[in-house]
Amino acid sequence: MSVLVAGTTALDSIKTSTKENPRLLGGSASHAAVAASFFSPVNLVGGVGEDFPKKYLTLYRKHGIDLAGLQMLPGKTFHWSGEYEVNMNNRRTLLTELGVIETFSPVLPKAYQTSPFVLLGNIAPALQHRVLDQMKQPKFVVADSMDLWLNIALPDLLRLLPRIDGFVLNDSEAHQLTKEDNVFNALKKIHKLGPKYVIIKKGSHGSILSSPKGFFICPAYPLSAVEDPTGAGDSFVGGVMGYLATARGSIDANIRRAMVYGSVTASFCCEGFGLNRTTKTKRADIEKRVKELEKLTKF
């Protein structure tokens, strides 16, 4: 089955303590779509400007990503520039040029409207609503978010939560949303806001699922070198949704394994700037790391 992936399609200029890479392909939808494409057909929803490099369109196509929902708009592509500290845990935004994203309104091609799996990647909650408004009885809808929307668009986000099946956020966002220090108490409070499935991302510490079948503690793949963590969270949820879209059986039967596949897909993302490493990854590489994670967690 196919996954619809909506979110930002951007150019990212990323600085770390040792390297600088200007105008890489980035954005939540780009990372999530490429991650999901390892497992299932992907319908991309986004908007880019006239400066969007053709090579990035070629890259999407190489991953079999359907671009009928990618709008080519007058103006400049959304451009984000950020810098990581030495330990890779903290980053600061140097520049945000919204460009076409400022007036972007997602319009779904008819063929997209019946995608059974819907990933509302990180973008303004109002746009996530607009995507969802156009969908016809999706089977499983998951939304990602970020601290920015908790700060400036909380009412929109709170209206979104009862409309989705799954919500993905990181531990500091969970704390910000619920005022709970304890992650398990935060999870309980988030369920009350709507979603039946809540995943809290903890970076190199893995992630935690809370679902109708209880908790799952998902490991992160051990990496001794992180080149650029930008997009790791998007890759994670992209991998989760891609895996779920092709797995047989219920969500409950597959979501744990889907998270492990998401975790591994995110590990490749961290090993290169932007999508550089992810796009060199083969499905067999992913399977190998999933098997390794099985061994690393067995007791």
Closest approach, Cβ 222 to a second copy, in A, equals 5
From 55, 192, 248, 298, residue interacting with a second copy (rule: CB under 8 A): 298
* 264 scored as a contact of a second copy (CB under 8 A): no
* 185 scored as a contact of a second copy (CB under 8 A): yes
* Closer of 29 and 270 to a second copy (Cβ): 270
* 226 scored as a contact of a second copy (CB under 8 A): yes
Phi then psi for residue 144, to 5 deg, are -110, 165
* 216 scored as a contact of a second copy (CB under 8 A): yes
From 101, 218, 245, 251, residue interacting with a second copy (rule: CB under 8 A): 218
Phi then psi for residue 104, to 5 deg, are -65, 130
Binding footprint of a second copy, residue count (CB under 8 A): 36
* 189 scored as a contact of a second copy (CB under 8 A): no
Q: Which of 85, 43, 95, 93 is nearest to 64 (CA)?
A: 43
Residues 6 or more apart from 177 whose CB is under 8 A from it? 150, 169, 186, 189, 190, 193
From 155, 224, 250, 284, residue interacting with a second copy (rule: CB under 8 A): 224
* 223 scored as a contact of a second copy (CB under 8 A): yes
Q: Identify any residues that bridge with 81 across adjacent strands, giving them in sequence order.
A: 13, 95
Judged by CB under 8 A, the chain residues 233 through 262 that form the site for a second copy are 256-257, 259-260
Closest approach, Cβ 188 to a second copy, in A, equals 8
Closest approach, Cβ 236 to a second copy, in A, equals 15
- In one-letter notation, the amino acid at residue 93 is T
The first and second tokens of residue 84, run together, are: 């990581």
Site string for a second copy, 61-100 (x = CB under 8 A): -------------------------xxxx-----------
From 204, 246, 276, 279, residue interacting with a second copy (rule: CB under 8 A): 204
Neighbours of 214 (CB within 10 A): 8
* 179 scored as a contact of a second copy (CB under 8 A): no
* Closer of 225 and 284 to a second copy (Cβ): 225
Query: Would you tell me which residues interact with a second copy (CB under 8 A)?
Result: 86-89, 181-185, 188, 202, 204-206, 208, 214-219, 222-226, 256-257, 259-260, 294-299
